[in-house]
Amino acid sequence: MTYSIDFRRKVLAIKEHENLSFKAAARRFGVGKASVSRWSGRVEPCRKRAKPPVKIKDEALRRDVELHPDAYQHERAARLGASQQGICEALKRLKITLKKNAAASEGRRAGPRRVPGAA
């Protein structure tokens, strides 16, 4: 669970003001001791992962998309030895999108609506 930044600052301010230990502050506010300790170094939560992708290499995925542009994600996953969800996240990370058949979307558009009784 992520605590709000205001709550984190309040906990640290009271900890400093009342000269509480990490354990005492954690017990008082009902949070973990490790959380209070971590907040003392950095109040804002981490938004992005600082670790590079391990299993699905970016170049291998780009090459697979070039060689097989119409492949489904589960087919890519089988070729690259990953999960379908992993392929989905990697494609999002690389900002690769592909619409299977653009003409089909245009062909299914509804025509102009006609009101009965109107000329």
- Residues 36, 55, single domain; the answer is no
Tell which residue, 14, 62, 58, has the closest CA to residue 39. Answer: 14
Domain assignment present for residue 106? The answer is no
Domain assignment present for residue 79? The answer is yes
- At residue 61, the pLDDT reads 93
- At residue 108, the pLDDT reads 57
Q: Domain range for residue 61?
A: 49-96
- At residue 79, the pLDDT reads 94
**Residues 6 or more apart in contact with residue 22 via CB below 8 angstroms:** 15, 33, 36, 37, 40
- Residues 35, 54, single domain; the answer is no
Ranges of residues in the chain whose predicted pLDDT is under 50: none
Domain assignment present for residue 119? The answer is no
Q: How many domains are contained in the chain?
A: 2
- At residue 117, the pLDDT reads 59
- At residue 27, the pLDDT reads 95
Domain assignment present for residue 33? The answer is yes
